[in-house]
Structure 1
Amino acid sequence: MIEVQHISKSFGDRTILKDVSGVFEKGKPNLIIGASGTGKSVLLKCIVGLVKPDDGHIFYDKRNFSEGDRDTKIEIRREIGMLFQGGALFDSKNVEQNVRFPLDILTPMSYEEKMDRVNFCLKRVGLENANKKMPSELSGGMKKRVGIARAIVNNPNYLFCDEPNSGLDPQTSILIDELIDDLSEEFKMTTIVVTHDMNSVMGIGERILFIYKGQKLWEGTKDTITHSGVKELDDFVFANKVMRSLRTK
């Protein structure tokens, strides 16, 4: 479980996050949603330590990441897997080298042990025959699956996904959502997904935080989102429905 308490962040005189609190549960995808520029990606970066919040605390299973000592922060970072927007693969490395990279820098495992883990993860994401392919040979969906394999290769307790469906067609997006959902449950990870895709929300949104202009305006599930009573959330949901209908015409 990850808990954020009263997180605030400003850049210069611009306030990005204001007093955001929330709990993200283990074994399910936890979604942070909102329109572009609302602060959801900054919140994710605060949680993983890429951005330091001005105020507030972040706890990983009751360990204070915000104020922990160097050893505590290193320990927590070793338990994190990250799927970056676009996949963020190394163009000069093939698939298995990309997936093996976290093991090369974070573990003392032997080459054989690393490759056993790499092959297991590639098989788990449906890419067991793609070891030697280069990123330039992969489709957008395959790149995302390689990114997921790399994110879980060190058997993390926490998985973070930043806009995992950006640039993907609807069918591939559903496959990526289902994979993230299955892996969260299978490996009992605390998973946080940043998205503005309502298909993802209605597909895997078991716990959802809605961010609007840097503030958390609503928290709930996909079953309650359509009758939240929050105007800004209703507008966000409606706008997404309109965009989806336009794309299908």
Structure 2
Amino acid sequence: MIEIHNIHKTFGDKKVLDGVSGVFETGKTNLLLGASGTGKSVLLKCIVGLVKPDIGSVTFDGTYFTNNKLDIRQEIRRKIGMLFQSSALFDSMNVQQNVEFPLKMLTPDMSKSERMDRVNFCLKRVGLEGSNKKMPSELSGGMKKRVGIARAIAPNCTYLFCDEPNSGLDPLTALKIDELIKEITEEYNITTIVVTHDMNSVIEIGDKIMFLYEGKKLWEGTRDEIMDTDIRELNEFIFANRLMRDAKKVEEEEREEEREEQQETKSENQQL
């Protein structure tokens, strides 16, 4: 579990984060949702320690991370896996070398054969068994994301962070990446945080969602609850496209029909 407490961050005269607090649960896909420029990626960087908040703190399973001793921060960082928006694979390394890289950095006592076993296991888990010698230039966008996920989980991470994992992917591939992230989260009981603005991801994997607007947390809940909020900014974001508006209309019509049926049943029972 990851907790954030009253996170503030300003760059120059622009306030990017304004008192954001929340809890990200273990074994669930926790989404940071919002339009571009709302502070999602900055909040993610504050959580993993790439950016230091001006005010506030972050705890990982009860251990304070922000402003703690260097050795404690380093120990937590060893448990973090990161999937970057552009996958960020090393162009000069093949798939095997990319996945092996964090093992060399974080587990120096692991033997070469042990590293290879772990690399092959992770590649098989993301559906890329046998792709060891391929170069990033030979991979599709979806394959690069899968290699990025394999690299992130290679050191047996406890916390997984994904920054716009569906960026640049077609809808079908994006769905498969979402499913893979959710499967891995549940299978290994990882605390996963996904930065996204994709409503498809919300509907498919949004176990818990935090909606940011102009640097503030306006709403928090599940994918089952998000369609029924009365927050104007959130509704404008959710129903920005026609498909979501139509889905909302159908849902409301179905609920109205259900209410009418219940009322009719109640009336019939009273007559009896």
TM-score normalized by the length of structure 2: 0.88
State the 4+ residue runs in structure 1 displaced beyond 4 angstroms.
240-245
Is 1:100 paired with 2:100? yes
SS of 2:32's equivalent? strand
Shift of 1:241: 5.0
Q: 1:241 to 1:65 in 2, by over 3 A?
A: farther
Tell me how far 1:141 sits from its aligned partner. Answer: 0.1
Residue 116 of structure 1 deviates from its aligned partner by: 0.2
Residue 83 of structure 2 is matched in structure 1 by: 83
Structure 1 partner of 2:209: 208
Gaps spanning 5+ residues in structure 2: where?
247-272
Which residue number in structure 2 is paired with residue 176 of structure 1? 177
> Does the 8 Å contact 1:91/1:136 carry over to 2?
yes
* Corresponding residue for residue 133 of structure 2: 132
The alignment yields a C-alpha RMSD, in angstroms, of 1.3
Cα separation, 2, equivalents of 1:182 and 1:28: 10
- Contact preservation (8 Å) 2:239, 2:245: no
Are the structure 2 counterparts of residues 170 and 205 from structure 1 closer, same or farther at C-alpha, using a change threshold of 3 Å? same
- Flag the 1:130–1:220 CA change in 2: closer, same or farther, 3 A: same
Following superposition, the deviation at residue 152 of structure 1 comes to: 0.1
Measure, in 2, the Cα distance between the counterparts of 1:84 and 1:109: 25
**1:31-82 per-position Cα deviation (integer Å, ceiling 9, x unaligned):** 0000000000000000000000000010000000012101110000000000
Identity level (%): 67
Q: Write out per-residue CA displacement over residues 156-214 of structure 1, whole angstroms, 9 at most, x where no aligned residue.
A: 00000000000000000000000000000001100000000000000000100000000
Partner Cα distance (1:244, 1:147) in 2: 34
Query: Could you list the per-position Cα deviations for residues 117-172 of structure 1 after superposition, in whole angstroms to 9, with x for gaps in the alignment?
Result: 00000000000011000000000000000000000000000000000000000000
CA distance in 2, matches of 1:165, 1:244: 22
Q: Which amino acid aligns with 2:135?
A: M
Distance 1:85 1:198 in 2: 17
| TM alignment of 1:46-195, pairs within 5 A | 46-107=46-107, 108-195=109-196
C-alpha separation between the residues in 2 aligned to 1:18 and 1:134? 42
- Stretches of structure 1 lacking an aligned partner (at least 5 in a row): none
- The one-letter amino acid paired with 1:104 is K
Q: What amino acid sits opposite 2:105 in the alignment?
A: I
Matched to 1:177, the amino acid is: D
- TM-score under structure 1 length normalisation: 0.96
SS in 2 for 1:239: coil
Letter in 2 for 1:216: K
- Contact 1:95-1:134 at 8 Å conserved across structures: yes
Q: Is the 8 A contact 2:238 2:244 kept in 1?
A: no
Asked whether the equivalents of residues 207 and 223 of structure 2 are also in contact (C-alpha less than 8 Å), the reply is yes
Q: 2:259: which partner in 1?
A: none
SS at match of 2:92: coil
Give the deviation of 1:240 after TM superposition. 4.6
Change (3 A) 1:197 1:34: same
Larger CA deviation: 235-244 vs 180-189:
235-244
Q: More helix per residue: 1 or 2?
A: 2
Contact map agreement 1:197 1:240 (CA 8 A) in 2: no
- Select the structure of larger CA radius of gyration: 2
8 Å Cα contact 2:35/2:213 also seen in 1: yes
Letter in 1 for 2:21: S
Q: How many equivalent residue pairs?
A: 245
